Structures are given as C-alpha cells and as structure tokens.
C-alpha cells in the first residue's frame, strides 16, 4: 500500500452511494486510496470497525440513511480513530442535525445530494488543516488564579481575554475552571447551552472542532462557561492534559479562570502547560498568608518560575506597601492593578468588561498588562457616533 497517499474510507450500505463518492474523489483529483464498508458500525469490536482501525484512513465519509445508526457510527469511529477526519453526508441543512453530527465526531457536513463542489471544498479544508498541523506553533496559555476568594480573579481573566482579542492576530479563548461552580458566564451576561462539564465528558473525542462547538463567542472571545452545579472529580489529570492540549492547538491565547480551591491535578497541569500563572492578591494580611501557601504548593510542582504576582486594587493609601508584600512572599510583584472598585463592580453588574468600553486608569492598566504578558499591542476598539 502506498503510504504517501491518504486513505479515504466510505461507509454506506448503498453501492450506488459508494460509487458516487469514488467518482467524485477521482473528479476532484484528490489522489488517495479508498476502502469501502457496506454497513454501519455498532461498536468498536465489530469486524468492520477492526477493518478500518487496521487500515487507519485519514478521512472517512459516512452516508446517513438512518439518523440513529449514522450518529452511532460517527461516535464509534471518533472513539477508535480520534485523529481521522469524519465527513457526514446527510439530508438537508437542519442546524440541530449539524450540531448533533459535530458532537458525534464529524468535522464536515455534506448536504445530500452530495455535490462535487461541496466535497472538493471539504477536501481542501482537510488539506489546509494538515499543512497547518505541520507548521503549527502552539498557542500560549495563561492561568489566572488566587489563594483567597474575592481577589477579583474572574474579572482579571475576563478583561485580559477581551483586551487580547483586540489584537487582530489573536484568536482568544476564556475557559472557566471555577469550582464548585463558575462565574464567567454571569459576569458576561452569557446564556450558554454548554459548560466545561460537557467538554470534559467528551474528552476521549475532544478536538478543536468539537471544543469550539461547546463555546460561545462574546466580544471576539470564545468562552467556555464553568459548571452550573457541583461535579465531583471533574478535573482529573488526564482530562486537564487533553483540555490544555486542544486549547493550545486551537487558540493563539487562552486564559483559564482557575478555582481558588486548588487540587494537586490543577496545580500540576498549570505548571506543565501554562506559559505563565497569574496569582491575584489584594494588599491585605489574610491574602498574603494564603498566597504564601499557594506559592509553596507551586514550588512543589516546579512552577515557581512561571508565577506572576498581580496585586489587585493597589493603592498608595494601603497600609501594606508593595515592598512589604515582596518581602513577605519572597517574590517580586509582576503588576499592580489600580484600585477602582466602584467601576469594577459596575462592569460586573452590567456584564460589560472595563476593557471593552471604559477609559479609566484600570482599563488602561489591563491593556498594558496584556502588552507585557503576551507581546501583543491590542488597540481598544473605538465606538463610532452611531454606537454611542
């Protein structure tokens, strides 16, 4: 077998449909080898499934004649061949059906009757993605966390993500790992059907396409909201590893709103995958005590050199100075966010982050922090007269 050519599998009980796709592949001048399967797949142990696993096609086209059996086939294929691009040929353009097929593992939806143009465009996207994979530069990931509740971690994560998205070259994600429940969606007045729990439950077949289908776009940022209810043992090490890998492959910059209730798995994952770990603290004694303990925990995972201490609500009128904080923690302060509590609370209550439309010193400080942290130069979008 010529391993230099991609292998395309065609799954359909109809010989006519299989012949149609064979002819279209030839007409599209897509040089490949083909393997035909004359029925649907029920599980990972069937003869037909093992046949495909042995051949390991780069692309598999599934013909939908029965909605239920075709979706099951997609799920089986995505579980046993997670790197394979799955095309589904299905009747109509029903949005709900498209979503169901994507969640089952499909990367391309070809509306019946399948046209040569649609197949050619899908194949071009596959080829472009393969080339992109070869040249892929992994995106940067930043965890934003704190040792004490009320430090403003969620507000900081949101404003940094939105400020970063103002740079045209950035593709930005904001993921809420809050525990037991997350707050990002509420801070943004976002009503989302899916949460991080849905992505975690799909970890065995999670890829960029499926991940983005769980996210909502808000002000140029792809947001994956946090849990709405308590999930025990949700963030295990293998789950976090998969999440961080897919995020870094999908986005240029990802900001993680990490829970204050840290567990060992989250600390290890942040240490391994994050470019920087922002620990947010307020200039008060209890926050210093807890931050000192959190730094000690990160030291044990080898993450000390990634820590960036950010003092929120910094003020010259505070009794504890920056120098005293650095001396107490044995760690330099990376950034000071000025105190503007009234406007920060107003931004939370209105669902409109400061970096979106505010001209305060705090908003400007967020923009400067993004420049220092990412190397980007985001320019806050100006509203025209009609947008006032």
Q: What is the mean pLDDT of residues 256-283?
A: 87
Mean pLDDT for the chain?
87
Contact yes or no for 248/133 (Cβ under 8 A): no
Nearest to 276 by CA among 203, 171, 375: 375
Q: Which CATH number fits domain 140-387: 3.30.420.40, 3.50.50.60, 3.40.50.300, 3.40.50.620?
A: 3.40.50.300
Q: Given a cut of 70, is residue 378 above it in pLDDT?
A: yes
Residue ranges of the chain that CATH labels 3.40.50.300 = 140-387
Q: Which superfamily, per CATH, for 7-134? A: Response regulator (3.40.50.2300)
Distances (CA, A) of 348 to 110, 132, 255, 354: 42, 38, 18, 9
Contact yes or no for 225/194 (Cβ under 8 A): yes
The pLDDT score that the predictor gives to residue 290 is 93
Residues 298-342 pLDDT 10s: 988 888 899 999 999 877 666 688 889 999 999 999 999 998 878
Count how many residues are written for the chain.
Answer: 388
Q: Is the pTM higher than 0.85?
A: no
Could you give the CA distance from residue 366 to residue 356 in angstroms, rounded to a whole number? Answer: 11
> Cβ–Cβ contacts within 10 Å for residue 50, how many?
12
| CB proximity list for 233: less than 8 A, separation 6 or greater | none
Report residue 260's pLDDT band, with 50, 70 and 90 as the boundaries.
confident
Q: Which residue has 């969606």 as its token pair?
A: 185
The pLDDT score that the predictor gives to residue 383 is 44
The pLDDT score that the predictor gives to residue 294 is 93
Strands 307-314 and 333-338: parallel
Q: Which two tokens stand for residue 307?
A: 């820590």
The pLDDT score that the predictor gives to residue 206 is 83
Could you give the CA distance from residue 164 to residue 253 in angstroms, rounded to a whole number? Answer: 8
Residues 3-42 pLDDT 10s: 568 999 999 999 999 999 999 999 999 989 999 998 888 8
State yes or no: cis peptide before 113, omega within 30 of 0. yes
Q: Which residue has 């705090």 as its token pair?
A: 362
Residue ranges of the chain that CATH labels 3.40.50.2300 = 7-134
Which DSSP letter does residue 203 get?
Answer: G
Q: Given a cut of 50, is residue 224 above it in pLDDT?
A: yes
Long-range contacts of 274-277 (CB under 8 A, 24+ apart): 274/141, 274/142, 274/143, 274/244, 274/303, 274/306, 275/140, 275/141, 275/142, 275/306, 276/142, 276/143, 276/306, 276/308, 276/373, 277/142, 277/143, 277/145, 277/303, 277/306, 277/307, 277/308
Q: Given a cut of 70, is residue 159 above it in pLDDT?
A: yes
Q: Given a cut of 50, is residue 232 above it in pLDDT?
A: yes
Residues 42-91 pLDDT 10s: 876 788 888 888 888 999 999 999 999 999 999 999 888 888 999 999 99
The pLDDT score that the predictor gives to residue 158 is 95
Could you give the CA distance from residue 29 to residue 9 in angstroms, rounded to a whole number? Answer: 16
| CB proximity list for 230: less than 8 A, separation 6 or greater | 180, 181
């Amino acid at each position: 077998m010529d391993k230099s050519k991609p292998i395309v599998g065609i799954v359909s009980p109809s010989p006519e449909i299989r012949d149609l796709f064979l002819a279209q592949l030839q007409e599209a001048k897509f040089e490949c080898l083909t393997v035909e399967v004359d029925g649907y797949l029920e599980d990972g142990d069937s003869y037909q499934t093992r046949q495909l696993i042995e051949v390991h096609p780069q692309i598999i086209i599934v013909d939908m004649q029965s909605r239920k059996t075709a979706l099951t086939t997609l799920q089986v294929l995505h579980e046993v061949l997670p790197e394979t691009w799955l095309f589904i040929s299905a009747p109509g353009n029903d949005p709900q059906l498209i979503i169901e097929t994507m969640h089952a593992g499909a990367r391309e939806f070809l509306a019946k009757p399948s046209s040569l143009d649609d197949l050619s465009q899908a194949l071009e996207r596959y080829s472009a993605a393969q080339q992109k994979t070869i040249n892929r530069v992994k995106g940067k990931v930043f965890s934003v966390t704190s040792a004490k509740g009320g430090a403003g971690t969620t507000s900081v994560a949101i404003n940094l993500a939105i400020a970063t998205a103002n740079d045209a070259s950035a593709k930005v994600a904001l993921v809420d790992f809050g525990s037991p429940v997350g707050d990002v969606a509420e801070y943004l007045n976002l009503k989302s059907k899916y949460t991080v729990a849905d992505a975690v439950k799909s970890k065995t077949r999670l890829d960029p396409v499926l991940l983005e289908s769980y996210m909502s776009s808000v002000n140029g940022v792809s947001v994956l909201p946090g849990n709405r209810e308590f999930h025990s043992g949700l963030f295990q090490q293998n789950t976090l590893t998969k999440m961080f890998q897919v995020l870094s492959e999908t986005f240029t910059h990802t900001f993680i709103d990490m829970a204050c209730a840290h567990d060992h798995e989250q600390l290890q994952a942040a240490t391994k995958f994050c470019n920087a770990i922002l620990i947010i603290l307020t200039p008060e004694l209890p926050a210093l005590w807890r931050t000192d303990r959190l730094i000690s925990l990160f030291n044990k995972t080898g993450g000390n050199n990634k820590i960036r201490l950010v003092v929120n609500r910094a003020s010259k009128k505070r009794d504890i100075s920056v120098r005293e904080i650095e001396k107490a923690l044995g760690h330099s302060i990376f950034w000071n966010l000025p105190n503007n509590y009234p406007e920060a609370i107003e931004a939370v209550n209105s669902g409109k982050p400061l970096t979106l439309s505010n001209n305060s010193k705090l908003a400007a400080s967020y923009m400067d922090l993004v420049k220092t942290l990412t190397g980007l130069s985001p320019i806050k979008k100006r509203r025209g007269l009609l947008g006032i």
